[in-house]
Amino acid sequence: MLDADFFRRWMAVTSTTVDREAERLTALDSPIGDADHGSNLRRGFSAVRAALDKEPPATPGAVLTRSGRLLISTVGGASGPLYGTLLRRTGKALGDAPEVSREQLAEALRTGVAAVRQLGGAAPGDKTMIDALVPAVDALGDSFAAARAAAEKGAVATTPMRARKGRASYLGERSIGHQDPGATSAALLIACLAETSETSEASEASGTYEAGEVSGG
């Protein structure tokens, strides 16, 4: 079962990873976007981590709901509303339960992804974050590792696609050949979820985990 501490560590690992990968995300965004995807997400997830450390929410749903609201208020461009909606709607779907299962998280994330699709009007194949999130949610019912692999495969698969949504769609055929930055950052988010699970399992097995200990590697 996954408690609030697990979800706070997920957001902390994501903050560390986005900070490390910000330049790569921006480089992917440069030819088909506004060249600010990495810097925007870095600012947003840094704010999330600071807020959760200062006043830790008591439930998994509250962690994600607060994280989503912070991303909406601190991240510029389309990323803030999209990632904010994903986490906020996922958190609301989890409700007030003190602990949730992986299967419950998968269903809640499915609700969050549906909200993102409605907000952005994107579908699989449109060369957006949806191309990583949809297969990840489908695979999360099997395992965290399967979700990570599916998200990474989905992100890479955007490279030969022609963008149909977002700023990249204005480029038409010129968007082909570039991996979508939103799908890439979505895959990072899912990879951080899998890493958090692996760290938790290893720590429980060894009995060495201490609250607040986070690996960003």
pLDDT digits (tens, 9 = 90+) for 165-179: 776 765 667 779 889
pLDDT at 5: 97
**For residue 36, what pLDDT is reported?**
85
Number of H helices, E strands in the chain: 8, 2
pLDDT band at 211 (very low <50, low <70, confident <90, very high): very low
Is the pLDDT at 161 greater than 60, yes or no?
A: yes
Matching residue, tokens 């997830």: 45
What percent of the chain clears pLDDT 90, i.e. is strictly above it?
76
pLDDT at 91 over 80: yes
**147, part of any domain:** yes
Global confidence as pTM: 0.90
* Residue 186, in any domain of the structure: yes
Top mean pLDDT of 71-80, 127-136, 172-181 is at 127-136
Residue 204 vs residue 209, higher pLDDT: 204
Confirm whether 214 is domain-assigned. no
Question: Residue 99: helix, strand or coil by DSSP?
Answer: strand
Does residue 130 belong to any structural domain of this protein?
A: yes
Is residue 215 in a domain?
no
Q: Is residue 193 within 8 Å of 148, Cβ to Cβ?
A: yes
Note the pLDDT tens digit of each residue in 28-46. Answer: 988 877 778 999 999 999 9
Please check whether residue 95 lies inside any domain of the structure.
yes
- Does residue 114 lie within any of the structural domains? yes
For residue 141, report the phi and psi dihedrals to the nearest 5 degrees.
Answer: -60, -25
Q: What is the mean pLDDT of residues 51-59?
A: 97
* Domain assignment present for 207: no
Helix ranges restricted to H, 95-161: 102-120, 130-140, 144-156
Query: What DSSP line would sit under 169-214, residue for residue?
Result: GGGGGGGTTS--HHHHHHHHHHHHHHHHHHHHHHHHHHT---TT--
Total domain count, the chain:
1
With contact defined as beta carbons under 8 Å apart, do 159 and 179 qualify? yes
Average pLDDT, the chain: 90
Mean pLDDT lowest among 72-76, 106-110, 131-135, 156-160: 72-76
Residue 177, pLDDT score: 86
pLDDT of residue 206: 63
3-state SS, residue 56 = coil
CATH of the domain at 187: 1.25.40.340
Report pLDDT digits (tens) over 20-29: 999 999 999 8
For the chain, how big is the Rg over CA atoms in Å?
Answer: 16
Tell me what pLDDT residue 138 has: 97
- The residue range of the domain holding 89 is 2-202
